[in-house]
Chains A and B, each alone.
Chain A
Amino acid sequence: MSKIELPSAAAQQPPGPLTPCWSCKGPVDARALFCHTCGAVQPPRGIDHFARLALPAMFEIPIADLERRYFGFQRYLHPDRFAVKSAKEKAISQQQAAALNEAYEVLKNPLTRGAYLLGLKGNPLPGDGQTVNDPELLMEAMETREALADAKDAASLKGIADRARGDFETAQRRLATAFAEDDLEGARRTVLRLRYLEKFRDELRARAINIAQGK
């Protein structure tokens, strides 16, 4: 995996539209996190999760880069930095930190990141619980669930779990390839399959607990 090109200070975008700072009322760049005149924290703006963490909108993001940005922004914006500030500043930092948390949660998991990226590219997925129209996936789901129901001991369960983990990793790699090749239809199918595999993993876990308890 290659390291992400970070925008340097020199290669910055030109000043964006101006908006009045809520605190000193002077002009501030609409993208600003802090007012350059009075230093007041500014409310979060509606940008996508990648932009929120200053990351390129692409599937393959090194987790180390994601976390460095997330922790770095939180160091400036977390409410703990505003504990002795005015109520308004506290409230804004809360909003900023919540926006960062949401971005981080969505982007750190390859499945939610893939689904989100598809949405950004104008290819949204059906919501949870809606029918998936993929006969191959439905067939696979039926077979694995049958195997799960038939598993009566920890050993046979482990076999199923190992296979499921392998499937999951393969699907993740396929998703990366699909995005790299800009094959959005393939990416979409793979995300749906990953969604199913994740649900199956939860079922496996529940079954493992039941078997351990002798049920």
Chain B
Amino acid sequence: MLLEIHEPGASPLPHADDVGVAVGIDLGTTNTVVAYAHAGKPEALRDPDGVALIPSIVAYRESSQATVGEEARRLLLDNPHNVVSSIKRLMGRGIADVKALGGTLPYIVEPGTGKNSMVQLRIAGKARSPVEISAEILRAARARAEQALGRTVDRAVITVPAYFDDAARTATRDAARVAGLEVLRLVNEPTAAALAYGLDKHAEGVFAVYDLGGGTFDFSLLRLEKGVFQVLATGGDAALGGDDFDHAVAEHFLADRKAQGKPLAMDAGEVKLALASARLAKECLSRQAEGVWSLDIGDLPSRHRLDVAGLEGLIAPFVARTMAICRGVLADAGMGVDGVKGVVLVGGSTRVPLVRREVEALFGQPPLQDIDPDEVVALGAALQAEALTVGSDTLLLDVTPLSLGIETIGGLVEKIVPRNTPIPVSLAQEFTTYQDSQTGMALHVVQGEREKVEDCRSLARFELLGIPPMTAGAARIKVSFSVDADGLLTVSALEKTTGMSQHVEVKPSYGLDDAAMERMLRDSIEHAASDMSERLLTEARVDARRVTLALDAALSADGDLLAGHERHQIDAARTRLVLAAEGGDRDAIAAAMEGLESIVKPFAEKRMDRGIRQALTGVEVERLAAKIG
């Protein structure tokens, strides 16, 4: 585990200048879609053949670069060992999580380097992290966008399942960084879909989004009103999706093969082929009543018949699980199905007729399907990318999908941020020592709904040291949880005793230590654009611009306080900062900022002495309230 300790208030996310274009990317388990919005009109970006879906499949060859998408899918048949699909299921997962998923993954999975770290896959003779594999997909999406738009793409809104935990979100953000993309925001997939749907249809009222993808299920209830998209409650399962349907069908075929007396032993490549046959069967049975599919295993291929009723029998338990989650979320929001105005279907797996029927039965109304369920999430992400860079009247208010808490005595969880709390959020709780003269306190941060720590996901462990020796129960340790607008958590602990306080900030981080991240950045072609020093330079330039603009505003308000020579000095220092910001030396920018600050200091003091001359008192709460109404 990696602990990033940084100054309170300093954002861990550097950002870019207004260069290049910002897009929306739906990084899916099965397919990835990139879209671009201009003037409130989003559009999925297509290849020359008009296809928007980029299969989330990556093929590696010993000597050359990775191949992504349709071409990689074709390689799957010839060389299944070097081809990876459904990598999203492993984002932020440790070896223990993968074991919990069962032996259903057709990969050679290895534990990552370091304690608590993300798994790695052995492909084409090399260990690769899910982050770098996902980065290949993002790179392909970026290339698609640059080709379609004819412009540089360097920023993106990337969607994640609402039910993704902190580890998977962090991994997604890291993958974007490796692909040379600045993440403007991680947006929850159902929320993005609601945004696209609501803006397109001018929908108002409470809407449900049922999002069944290849590997994840999300269900969200949102209230849409006058440009506000407020998530009321969300729930899901980060390991439930169309892939499970495929596995169920494949297992059925294998059982049938066994009944035919044929051998079952398969290598990892043959498992992938069996899954591909199963997937084909599932897709065909959305359109036809029955069919026959073959399994090519060893020297003895076998043929298997399946009809719609048979398929539905195999997948019904998974569909039932999604329905139970829907009911739970409705209960969390304190509402019944009669309060839901419409149900938006998202994700390729909602094409399965059984899913549509069950959704219709639960909500008592046919689901909405006017926007392509494969594209609607990317369209929403593109709208949000435009909103964040160009501006917008809409407001997205999302929530935390999972409760966040801390381990207390007896292995129990004390919840600090309950699920469905609007984000960003900052909540704190006080704890105390339980032994006399205890000078350290171990803090274990967990995510999940269960009461026992062992049933929740462990996010981070850290120790607060230097507590002055006191009797048990006398120390007061305030633990604060902050979840930002991307759904990412920062934990800080403050030890408040007589005259002493200590402040540490811990950012849970998974799997990738600094060295691994650095290697990936070095390996990546676009590393220059995403390099840390490049980002810090950009950050310094943004801040330099803020400082000059603030100074200009101050000069035009109170410039009359300055004598001629003072004004000259300030103007000269300002020019030095502007010139430094045009150059590429971050230290020079920092020095010029400091120089300007010290020269401006007497001016600032004069301004404070003058006070507010005008009736202008700033935009205080009451003034803004009067404006809001």
Contact = CB atoms under 8 A, between A and B. Distances in A.
Interface residues of B, number: 67
Given A78-B395, A84-B15, A24 B554 contact: yes
Residue picked from A51, A79, A102, most chain B C-beta under 10 Å: A79
Contacts of A86: 539, 542-543, 546
A42 B553 CA distance: 16
A84 B11 contact: no
B18 interface: yes
B556 to A, nearest CB: 9
Given A7-B626, A72-B629, A32 B619 contact: yes
A177 interface: no
A175 B604 CA distance: 51
A12 to B, nearest CB: 6
A54 interface: yes
A74 B395 contact: yes
Contact of A6 (B384, B427, B542, B626): B626
Given A54-B622, A87-B543, A101 B629 contact: no
Contacts of A75: 393, 395, 628
A21 B514 CA distance: 36
B425 A101 contact: yes
A78 to B, nearest CB: 6
Interface in A20-52: 20-21, 23-29, 31-40, 42, 47, 51-52
B484 A87 contact: no
A53 B484 CA distance: 21
A16 interface: yes
Interface in B452-504: 482, 484-485
A37 B619 CA distance: 10
A89 B608 CA distance: 22
Nearest to B18: A84
A8 B610 CA distance: 28
A88 B395 contact: no
Given A8-B626, A18-B608, A39-B553, A26 B619 contact: no
Interface in B419-439: 421-427
B259 to A, nearest CB: 33
Majority secondary structure, A binding face: mixed
A36 B396 contact: no
B618 A33 contact: yes
Nearest to A81: B391
A26 B18 contact: no
A25 B618 contact: no
Contacts of B389: 83-84
B551 interface: yes
A18 B10 CA distance: 25
A101 B616 contact: no
Nearest to A79: B485
Interface string A124-145: 0000000000000000000000
Contact of B11 (A28, A39, A87, A97): A87
B388 A84 contact: yes
Contacts of A73: 621, 624-625, 628
Nearest to A19: B608
A25 B618 CA distance: 14
A183 interface: no
B16 to A, nearest CB: 8
Given A31-B618, A75-B395, A87-B14, 10 more contacts: A15-B612, A26-B607, A27-B611, A32-B619, A36-B612, A68-B628, A72-B625, A87-B15, A88-B11, A92-B9
Closest 5 CB pairs of A and B: A32-B618, A72-B628, A54-B625, A25-B604, A83-B388
Interface of A: 6-9, 12-13, 15-16, 18, 20-21, 23-29, 31-40, 42, 47, 51-54, 68-69, 71-76, 78-80, 83-92, 94-95, 97-99, 101-102, 104-105, 205
29 contacts: A7-B626, A12-B622, A12-B623, A12-B626, A23-B546, A25-B603, A26-B554, A26-B604, A27-B610, A29-B618, A31-B617, A31-B622, A33-B620, A36-B616, A36-B619, A37-B553, A39-B553, A40-B550, A71-B395, A72-B627, A73-B624, A73-B628, A74-B395, A80-B485, A86-B539, A87-B10, A94-B424, A99-B426, A104-B422
Interface of B: 9-11, 13-15, 18, 184-185, 226, 228, 230, 331, 384, 387-389, 393, 395-397, 421-427, 482, 484-485, 539, 542-543, 546-547, 549-551, 553-554, 557-558, 600-601, 603-604, 607-608, 610-612, 615-629
